[in-house]
Structure 1
Amino acid sequence: MPVSSAHAGGNLPCILHKADAQALQQGEANERLADEARHFCRDRILERQLEMKLVDVEVYFDRSKLVFYFTAPSRIDFRDLVKDLVREYRARIELRQIGVRHETQMVGAVGNCGMVCCCRRYLQKFVPVTTRMAKEQNLFLNPAKISGICGRLLCCLSYEQENYDHFHRSCPRLGKKYQTTRGVMKVLRANIFRNSLSVLAENGDMLELTLEDWQALSPHRPEAPPGPAPVRQAPQASGEGLLCVFAAPDTLEQVDLIGAEEETPQASGALFAAREPGGSPERETGSGRSRKKGRRKPQRPASG
C-alpha cells in the first residue's frame, strides 16, 4: 500500500508484508503464551508475597522478549521473580512499572459519560490535567465528578482548555474594578458561551456586555502603588520514578548485583533504572553521582 506524500514525513510504523497464514498462526500462539505467562507470573507473585499487581504481558513476535507490565505502591525487590521468569521462558524478560492511567489504558473501562474511556479508544499520549482547568470551566470541584476510573482528573478536561485559555486572555480579571468611559465598573462574571461579561456599575446597576462592547469602553486598572516583587520558588523534585528491570538468560546470575550499589548495576545485560512518568530511564553511576574530571592544583615551587 503506497504511502501518501502527506504522511511520508510522519511517524509511521514499518510494515514488512501482509500477514500470511503462518504469521497469523504465530500471532495466535503468542497470545496463548502471553496468557500462560500472565498466570505463571501471578502465581509467582502470590508465592513470594510481593506487593505488586500484574496488569498485562506482551510477547514479541519472534518470542525474543517478554514484557511484564505491573503496578506497585512502592519500590520492591523482585530479583527472584525475574529469575523465575527467565528460567521458565528462556528469553529476555522486562518488568516495567506503569502508572494508574496507563493501567486503565491497557485494561479499559467505561467512564462516567457511559462511553469506553478515551485512553482505551484513541488517546496515545497523556497531557497534564490540573484542577485549574476545572475551575476555569466552572465545574463543581467534586472528586467523584471530575475524576476518571483511574482516580486521576478526567482527560477530557483538556479537550476544550485551549478555547477557555483564549477566552480568558481576552477577559479582564474577575472581581477587579476598572476605570472606563462610563465610570468605575467591577467585573463579576464571564460567560464563554455568550462571549460576554457581567459588570456592576457605580450606580448599582448590573450590566451584561459583550467583549467588543467592553473593549470599546477603554477599560484600565487604577494605578496601584508598586508592591514587593514576588519571590519565585524553585520547583520541588518529584517523587520516586517508575522501575524498569531487564534480564536475559546469559546474564541471569548478574541480576543479584541489582540493588548492591544504591540499586544501580554495573554488569552488562542487567538494567535497574528509575523511569520518570512519561520519560526515559536515567542511567546513574555506581556512587549515584556524575563523574567529573578534577583539575590538578599547580604545585608551588619549593622555597630555598
Structure 2
Amino acid sequence: MYEIIGVQFQEAGKKEYFSPNGIRFKENDLVVVESKRGMELGRVKLTNRHVGKDDVVLPLKEVLRLATDDDIEKYQSNLNDAEEALNLCKEMVAAHELNMRLVNCEYTLDKSKVIFNFTADDRIDFRNLVKSLAYELKTRIELRQIGVRDEAKLLGGIGPCGRSLCCSTFLGDFEPVSIKMAKDQNLSLNPSKISGACGRLMCCLKYENDYYEEVRNELPDVGTAVVTPEGDGKVVGLNILDVTMQIKVKGFEQLFDYKLDELLEVHS
C-alpha cells in the first residue's frame, strides 16, 4: 500500500498524486511539490489515503513542504511577471510572423522555467522565438501546443446554458463526446446548438447519455409491432425521460402513450 495525496494546480485541473512524506494534510492546504513541469505550488484536493500499487504511477514524488508565506508571496509575484512575459511573447510572435495564438503563461515557483501555452492550426517552427525569449527572460522556455478544449478550460467563459464552462469549473478530465450522443437524445444536430465555446461538441452531452442508453435498451425500437389494450399497434416514438412510447393503434387517429408494462405483447 502507498500513502498519497491529490494536488490540483489549476481550478478544475487534473489532480496529480504525491507522497505526503509523513505529513498529515487537510483539504485546501497549499503545498510545494516537484511536478513534471518543475517546482509548483498546488492545493490539496484529496487528503491522505492509502491505495494499492495498481492505483498509482510509480515512482511517487514527495511533497517538498507545506507552503510558507514566502512561497505564497512568490507565487503571486510570479503571476504578475507571467502577465508581462505573455505580453512580451505576443510582441515577439508578431515580429516573427508566427501563426499561433498564445493562451497563457506560467512561471514555475522557483522561476527556473516559464511555460507558454498556445494553439495553432499547424505545426509551428518556434526555435527562433525560443531563442529570443530566453535572451530576454533569462530562464528556460517551454512552448506547449494545446487543443481548443484545453484553451477553453484555461481561459474560462460562459456556455450556451448561461453558466460558467463546466471544463473550467469542475471537470477534471475531458471525456469523449460523439455526435451519436446528440442523436440518441433527440437533440438538434445543428452545430451551433450542440457545440460549446471551444467549437467542439458540448461536454454536457455525456452527462445523461448513460441514462438514455439504458432506457433505449429497455424500450422497443421505433417501428416495432405491439399489442395494446386498444388493439394492435406500432411504436412511432419514444419519450426517454418518461420511459414511455408513442403508439399508433389501428383504427384510431390519435396516438397513445404507454409504458412498457402496460403493453400486452411486443413482437420482436
User: For the superposition of Structure 1 and Structure 2, which TM-score range results when normalised by the shorter chain?
Assistant: 0.7 to 0.9
1: distance between equivalents of 2:227 and 2:81?
73
Whichever residue aligns with residue 8 of structure 1, its letter is H
Distance 2:141 2:89 in 1: 12
Retained in 1: the 8 A contact 2:228–2:262?
Answer: no
SS class of match (2:78): helix
CA positional deviation for 1:168: 0.7
CA deviation profile, 1:189-225 (whole Å, cap 9, x unmatched): 11122211112234346332102224x52x233xxxx
Aligned counterparts, 1:63-212, within 5 A: 63-174=111-222, 176-178=223-225, 180=227, 185-204=233-252, 206-212=255-261
Cα gap change, 1:5 to 1:92, in 2 (>3 Å)? closer
Equivalent positions of 1:274-293 (< 5 A) are none
CA distance in 2, matches of 1:188, 1:113: 31
SS at match of 1:83: helix
Amino acid aligned to 2:267: H
> What is the letter of the counterpart of residue 210 of structure 1?
K
- Equivalent position to 2:267, from 220, 237, 259: 220
Deviation string 1:73-93 (CA, Å, 9 cap, x unpaired) is 112221111111222333332
Identity %: 38
Report the structure, 1 or 2, having the larger strand content: 2
**Shift, 1:162, TM fit:** 0.9
Question: How far apart, CA to CA, are the structure 1 residues paired with 2:125 and 2:77?
Answer: 31
Q: CA deviation at 1:177?
A: 3.2
CA contact (8 A) 1:177 1:184 kept: no
Q: Secondary structure at the match of 1:8?
A: strand
TM-score, with length taken from structure 2: 0.72
Alignment partner, residue 8 of structure 1 = 50
- Secondary structure of the residue aligned to 2:92 is helix
2-side partners of 1:128 and 1:91: how far apart? Answer: 37
Deviations 1:99-157 (A, max 9, x none): 11111111111112221111111111111222222222222223222221111221111
The answer on 1:61 being equivalent to 2:109 is yes
Kindly provide the amino acid, as one letter, of the partner of residue 172 in structure 1. Answer: P
- Return the alpha-carbon distance in structure 1 between the equivalents of residues 65 and 237 of structure 2: 59
Amino acid in structure 2 at the alignment position of 1:90: K
Deviation at 1:17, TM superposition (A): 3.2
2:80 aligned with 1:32: yes
Instruction: Report how many residues are paired.
Output: 218
1:69 CA drift (Å): 0.4
Specify every segment of 5 or more residues in structure 2 that has no aligned partner in the other structure, as ranges. Answer: 1-23, 27-45
2:189 corresponds to which letter in structure 1? L
Q: Answer whether contact 2:184 2:212 (CA < 8 A) is retained.
A: yes
